[in-house]
Amino acid sequence: MSANFRVTITDTIAVLTWDQADSEVNILTRPQLSELHDQLITLAGNRELTGLIIISAKEDNFCADLDLAVLEGIKSAAEARALAQQGQELCTLLAGLALPTVAAIHGPCLGGGAELALACDYRLLSDDPTTALGLPEIGLGVIPAFGATLRLPRLMGLKTTLEMLTGGAPCLGNQALASGLADGSFPREHLLLAARRLLQQHPPTGRPSRRRLLERLLPWRQLLCSRAARATRRQGGDHYPARAAAISAIAAGFNQDPAVGLETAAHLLGEMAMTDTARHLQQACRLRERFTTAAGSEAHHFNRVAVVGAGMMGGNLITLLAAQGVQGRLLNRSLAGLKTTLGWIRQNLAAEEQNGHLHPAEAELIRTRISYDTGLRGLRGQEAIIESVAENLGVKKSVLADIAREVPAETLIITSTSSLSVSELAQAVVHPGRVAGLHLCNPNGRQQLVEVVSGHKTTEASRQAVMALVGQLGKIPLAVQDRPGFLVNRLLLPYLNEAAHLLDGGVRSENIDRAMVDFGMASGPFALLDTMGLDIAAQVAEVLHRTFGERLEPSPLLALMASAGRLGCKSGQGFYQYKADQRCRIAPDLPVLLKLMPPLRKQPPASEIVDRLLLVMLNEAARCLEEGVVAEAAAVDTALLFGAGFPTYTGGLLRYANDRSLASVVNKLKDFEYTIGKRYAPAKLLQTLAENGRKFYEN
């Protein structure tokens, strides 16, 4: 008897239900591949069957992907090829059954589960907003190799397939229907019935190819693949070789015999599985899993949360809360400010609907969950209050004191801040143990990571409750100590400050940004400063300077930009000029405004720019570990990967340092200390590790 799959037969239609034992989700493992293969062999031998439905018994998912442990356990390219061949054999068996097959999908259907669905003749989806098909293997440094690179182009066309596989983003319900990936959408409770009715109509097995007319022409197919390859290179494709490998696999399957396509996919999986990039991407995935799990248990579940302050961050927070089913109340003293933020929320939701990222019904639910008012009316009865007013110590303390007077002593109070001391802010509150800090990382809180800051008097219960709330918002919570800049800004500001020093020294700003983007950063330092806001950056830089002295003395350029009203995106001009929130070009008046020296005739190589910026950040990370801002290297890497756009192909800043060797890092820092200044003096922890031949990660 199968442990994870059960078969029921009614009126000659078989229903194969996937229900992985002792798990809330279905995850495809190697034993399950064999188990499912045996089930299909048995079903293939039943000549009385007229159809097969594959469905999940799980409450909210079809399949969460291939088990990551399978990829992590691969020790050779040959082993990876064998895995691909096992999956290909299973999917080929399913696709070749002499009866029509339907995958009835509710919730995410990813990776190996999506490969199984593609091998079916038809795919019916529930109309739930979470239902999506995706092949995220690129994000793990490998490619889908069970046959998706052959089947997808015949369903969706070559162009759409290339976009889906190289991007790695899942295809949501409406997108799947429009592209031909899915054949219908139904309420979840009617999904199985809809699949039965489809099979009762005796539909044909196999599906006619949806190759577009032009795609029948070899030169056009070659042009599409060539364009996709160029696009991936522009997006850092050299750092992520699986993108190019996916294009090669698709081309081989589309242009040649299917057997050649399958063989090519298996071979390329073997190559990709052995790359450092794959290892690092899988390590980054484990970090995300680990720190997401730290959000805690269901004991802390919030239903009603108020946000005080209707600025950009307040608008982001209230939208996040409502999107996760929380009844959110947005409070602001200014009616005009409240109206502006509510209008911005409506515009964003409409845009998400229009681009297919949000189901219209879900967008309407989000809107209905947000109530609002002026003043502080309606705070009683809220389970938590998030203060999100201007980043000013006096203003925040005043508002926090007002909040504390309005709510019971046990109500959790959270302050949203990027740099201010949570301990000092909590002094304004009666019963300060219930106060904790929250820092949503830029741009505009869209990063996955949220820092949870414990003040000196924050209770463990309060910290755990805030961690749980962050997890409920779908974010990664990272507990940090109440030190200036916390962790993310403590690491980012020296990096950004060093970029300003380079600019002041005659290096072109476009060269600096290009060097860091080419390294793999999500944006260059000057683009990031504009996104963060030059006023906020100057403020955080000054906080760090007051605490750490000469080592973190800010470049005067940051204060000059802020005092000139050049605040970045929010003012329309910073280091770049903006139009309708879109970055246009480097501001041409920067040299005059900042009184810059003429650009150096011989600009430094990109490698030197990268070293100047990364090593000062790495040095600061070592000091954060020395001070106990966080307890381990994994927390530093998680913060930068998911809170600062650090390139995932590296595995994180400290893994990057490990791979480079700490001895060479220390030597380079000493060179910079001699030629540039004391801010590059190596941290004690770095020197100790290097001298003893140790690493940030020992395994």
651: left (phi over 0), alpha (psi -120 to 50) or beta: left
- Give SS3 for 623: helix
- What is the distance between the alpha carbons of residues 472 and 395, in angstroms, rounded to a whole number? 29
How many Cβ atoms sit within 10 Å of the Cβ of residue 197? 12
Q: Which residue has the tokens 């680990």?
A: 290
Closest to 681 in 3D by CA, of 606, 620, 614, 607? 620
Whether 391 sits among the annotated catalytic residues: the reply is no
SS3 assignment, position 438: strand
Our measurement of the distance from residue 638's CA atom to the centroid of its chain's CA atoms, rounded to an integer in Å, reads 11
The partner residues of 515 in beta bridges, in order of sequence, read none
Q: Which residue, among 111, 135, 125, has the nearest Cα to 33 in the 3D structure?
A: 111
Look at strands 184-186 and 122-126 and give their pairing: parallel
CB 264 within 8 A of CB 248: yes
In sequence order, what are the beta bridge partners of 28?
66
Bridge partners of 275, per DSSP, are none
Whole-angstrom Cα distance, residue 396 to residue 415? 8
Of the residues 137, 263, 387, 391, only one is catalytic, namely 137
Catalytic-residue membership of 163:
no
Specify the DSSP class assigned to residue 326: -
Cα 663 → chain centroid = 32
The active-site residue out of 48, 79, 115, 383 is 115
Rounded Cα gap, residues 641 and 449, in angstroms: 9
Residue 550: other Cβ atoms inside 10 A? 9
List of residues 6+ apart from 549 with CB closer than 8 A: none
Tokens 């009603």 appear where?
A: 304
Sort 287 into a burial class: Cβ within 10 Å, 0-12 / 13-18 / 19+: buried
Helices (H), 332-478: 335-354, 360-369, 393-406, 422-426, 460-472
Q: Which of 617, 611, 648, 651 is nearest to 634 (CA)?
A: 651
What phi, psi does 233 have (nearest 5°)?
Answer: -65, -40
Q: What angle do CA 530, 531, 532 make, to 5 degrees?
A: 95
Residues 6+ apart with CB under 8 A from 216: none
The full DSSP string for 12-44 is: TEEEEEE--TT-SS--B-HHHHHHHHHHHHHHH
- Coil/strand/helix, residue 123: strand
H-assigned helices in 45-135:
68-72, 77-95, 112-119
Give 329's Cβ-side CA count (13 Å radius): 19
Query: In 3-state terms, what secondary structure has residue 377?
Result: coil
| DSSP per-residue string spanning 67-86 | -HHHHHT--SHHHHHHHHHH
CB-CB contact of 487 with 544 (8 Å): no
List, by residue number, the catalytic residues: 115, 137
